[in-house]
Amino acid sequence: MDIERPNTITEAKLPVRTSDATWNGSLKEGNGSLRLGGGAFEGQYSFSSRFENGRGTNPEELIGAAHAGCYSMALSGALGAAGYESTRVSTVADVHINKVEGGFAIQQIDLRTEAEVPNLSDSDFQQIAQQTKIDCPVSAALSAVPVNLEAKLTS
């Protein structure tokens, strides 16, 4: 009996990703923990680690890591689809959270990416990088937040 296998990843049923968080106590004196479902990370967070410079992690840091990781993979894929093979793509995401009327808001994300791609002009690279900013699934999920991109090509 032949088992029909998907030809591409787009035909496969992709897994649902799950993470969890627990918060104990009041906003300023309490603390919590965040855990990635795959078990790769578990960390503590607090008011101080989120809104000041205290020890621990915070949701914005994790959003930044997700965005940087997604963008790097998406850019590598977009470059490959355009006929260029990247040897390295590295992205940093700065997530800006600010106090606003009624609470706090993520108001901007700055992506800084550097890619090593032989035989690609900077203008073509910039076009692919900008389109990837739109097409990246995490960028799309965060579309309510302005995303700035600084893309640097190295050879």
Summarised one tens digit per residue, pLDDT across range 31-87 is 999 999 888 899 999 999 999 999 999 999 999 999 999 999 999 999 999 999 999
pLDDT at 90: 97
Q: Starting at the edge strand that comes first in sequence, how are the strands of the sheet with 31-36 ordered?
A: 19-24, 31-36, 42-46
Distance CA 34, CA 154 (A): 36
Distance CA 43, CA 127 (A): 37
pLDDT at 14: 86
Quote the Cα angle for 19-9-145, to 5°: 50
Query: pLDDT band at residue 10, thresholds of 50, 70 and 90?
Result: low
Q: Which two tokens stand for residue 145?
A: 């937040």
pLDDT at 8: 54
Place of tokens 């002009």: 121
